[in-house]
Chain A
Amino acid sequence: MKRSHENFEETLKRLMTRRNPADARMDAGIDKAWQQLNSESIGPVPNASRVHAVRSPRVFLKIGLATAMMIAVMFGVVRWRGRAPEVPFGETIRSNANRVLTLKDGSAVEMRAASELRLEPANDGIRIRLIVGSVIVNAAKQEPGRHLYVQTKDVSVSVVGTVFLVGTEKSGSHVAVIEGEVRVEQDGVETKLLPGQQLTVTTNPAMPSPPVAEEVGWSGEAETHVAMLQQAAAPQLRPQTTPKWEVTSIRQCTGDQPGNARGGGNGGTASAGAMGTSPGLLRVTCMPLKWLIERAYVKYLEYDMKPTWFFPITGGPEWIKTDLYTIMAKTEGLPSEQEMRGPMLQALLEERFNLKMKREIRQEPVYELRIADGGLKMQPLKEEECEAREAKAPEGETQAERLDRMLKALQRRPAPCGSQMIGGPQDGTKAPPRTRTVNVFGGPLDLLTRNLSLDRIIIDTTGLGDRLFDMQLTYSIDKSPMREPQPVSATEPPAGDSIFVAIEKQLGLKLVPLVGPRTYYTIEHVDRPTPN
């Protein structure tokens, strides 16, 4: 199966991308399936003779926005596609009045009057070279590995989202996002922009930077764009059709302490500081309101599963952390566990605690993780190494034996892939006092960065996200900017290197302080619960 020069991953890529269904035959198959569904009495279907899956632009915001976005974007796509033929590469296009172009990939480009651009092929897609003026791009969903770029003399914008504006004039260039997410590269520095955000690169400090809503005023779709921006500024945090609770009961909990495990488990009797569900029932035992907000909003909405401290909850009085509540809620019907713990719990908190939440993106100091100039000082693990570290499960193993086997495996060195330990070095060396060591065995960089406990979040731009490494990093808690202030020792002087020196010296990585986006959840209003 393997060609002599190929590794296994390359073989998989080569083979598994070989089969591509012919478009015409696939369309016929999809139509046939649709006819079959139609004949099973699902109701009359418009345009049943030809049904294609809609090219759905990728959106950054969650399910609560789907209605407005789908209408806005589909409206934009359908209408713009109706206006103009495709534009060939290499041709310079000048617009005397607002006009719309359709690209080969289905993207629509609205040009402002007196703008000029040229289309060029990129290695991995299409590049729009904006020579002068402004464009609003409504990007089609890109095939895997394909990208759409907009380039001016100052910046290069790559499309991750859908609708954004780029303008250029002699003194500089300007990028603003209406919906989705774009990455802007300028002089080797990459910035991510989210809806409503903008970036200006200029030699003229007086170059104006009006609000995005004003900037799109010239567009034929200005109303739609402004509606999208308003949605982005005040996003709906849950779907409009959230199932309802039939009855809810909240009482204050006295004498119990919240448990260390901050909520988990299903059904049965929940322990203090826990949340459990069973069909049609949610049970919360002695939890502070802040934890409930974390679960209902942060955990539900931030589906990329970063730790919840990544998304600070601000505002609200002190009692939301100290007063404990026990909640029993029974549903109408049988919604899923995720619905009960997410949007339904949001609705309960909003109704019974008069809670008003706002989700917003703020620009704040972050660290960017990069490969140091001297290069990486660790080797990614080979495929076979993780397998060799796994302790094999014998036949007929009981649960207790399995637990015992796994605990013993964690004590072996190297430990199984995915293990992480914090404290001292695990390689037998002794660390200086007042230092902290993070050990990761066969894990991605994400396992290291989430355990460093620094004062800023870390955004990984190394491109090593898919590699697994054995990592041991020891750094001084006195010389590093820690998230929690460290008690000063009267007897032990600061020792060891700061995190910035240590990470470069020991691992060949670099932490660069920057300003970047971070999502905040703000409590705008909250009251003690209304009576049952």
Chain B
Amino acid sequence: MSIVVMQEPAQQLEVVFREHARLVYRTAFGVTGSHEDADDVLQTIFLRLIRQEFPPDLKNNPQAYLYRAAVNASLNIMRRRHREVLVGDAEPFERPAPAETDSENSELQRLYEGIAQLKPNAAQILILRYMHGKTSAEIAKMLGRSQGAITLMLFRARVRLKKLLRTNSGDTR
């Protein structure tokens, strides 16, 4: 549903928050696997909005703007985690990373680290499709692109991601 543009910025923000907080939270939790990280992503995104003027993209399509912000912020967290694991002497994150002994959680960790290496558009489309179950038509409508373009981008994103995952795991077949 589109944003209702009201007189007061505070009221505008409330409407936006009520409409889209869950999408932002679910996306952040789905990527990071951590409630604390999801809390942070949600607060950071909306605090940034109240400290600055609403960007035009937010007014035109708040759902798409906030979703992109959620994906970018969540993938940044994954990139930071990955760097901290690689740099052996770094202090561990305060927040618990997914347990290494749980094989599906480490699969997810590797998957999202791979997604974090894709271009932002590709990452956003993949997450909309496979985490949120949106069809190509719904994704096209949300992101303001044609369905044909989304279909092609999804295809290419899957191919690229598969290659990245193989490279990251050292499998060069």
Contacts and interface: CB of A to CB of B under 8 A. Distances in A.
Nearest to B3: A66
Contact of B154 (A21, A54, A62, A466): A466
B5 interface: yes
A528 B145 CA distance: 35
B165 to A, nearest CB: 7
Interface in A36-70: 36-37, 40, 42-43, 45, 51-54, 56-59, 62-63, 66-67, 69-70
10 contacts: A15-B130, A17-B130, A40-B50, A43-B8, A51-B21, A53-B21, A66-B5, A303-B144, A387-B156, A417-B155
Interface in B23-39: 23, 25-26, 29-30, 33, 35, 38-39
B84 interface: no
A1 B111 contact: yes
Contacts of A413: none
B171 to A, nearest CB: 10
A237 to B, nearest CB: 13
A26 B22 contact: yes
A50 B162 CA distance: 43
Given A1-B111, A42-B13, A336-B60, A36 B140 contact: no
A246 interface: no
Interface in B76-99: none
B159 A16 contact: no
Contacts of A447: 148
A58 B63 CA distance: 12
Contacts of B43: 32-33, 36-37
Contact of A241 (B5, B132, B136, B148): B5
Given A8-B162, A21-B38, A465 B147 contact: yes
A409 interface: no
Given A18-B104, A19-B33, A52-B18, A336 B140 contact: no
Nearest to B11: A43
Interface in A9-31: 9, 12-13, 15-21, 25-26, 29-30
A383 interface: yes
A467 B147 CA distance: 11
B21 A33 contact: yes
Contacts of B9: 42
Nearest to A446: B148
B1 to A, nearest CB: 4
B18 A54 contact: yes
- A contacts with B: majority SS: loop
A276 interface: no
Interface in A462-502: 465-468
A493 B135 CA distance: 45
Contacts of B140: 304-305
A338 B56 contact: yes
Contact of B47 (A9, A15, A36, A336): A36
Contact of A70 (B1, B35, B127): B1
Interface string A59-86: 1001100110110000000000000000
Interface residues of B, number: 70
B3 to A, nearest CB: 7
Contact of A15 (B38, B107, B141): B107
Contacts of B4: 66-67, 70
Query: Which of B1, B9, B33 has the largest count of A CB atoms less than 10 A from its CB?
Result: B1
A240 B5 contact: yes
B108 interface: yes
A51 B165 CA distance: 40
B146 A387 contact: no
Contacts of A66: 1-5
Contacts of B104: 15, 18
A467 B29 CA distance: 30
B16 to A, nearest CB: 10
Contacts of A12: 111, 126, 130, 158
B133 interface: yes
Contacts of A88: none
B155 A468 contact: yes
A303 B141 contact: yes
Query: Which of B51, B149, B158 has the largest count of A CB atoms less than 10 A from its CB?
Result: B158
A288 interface: no
A507 interface: no
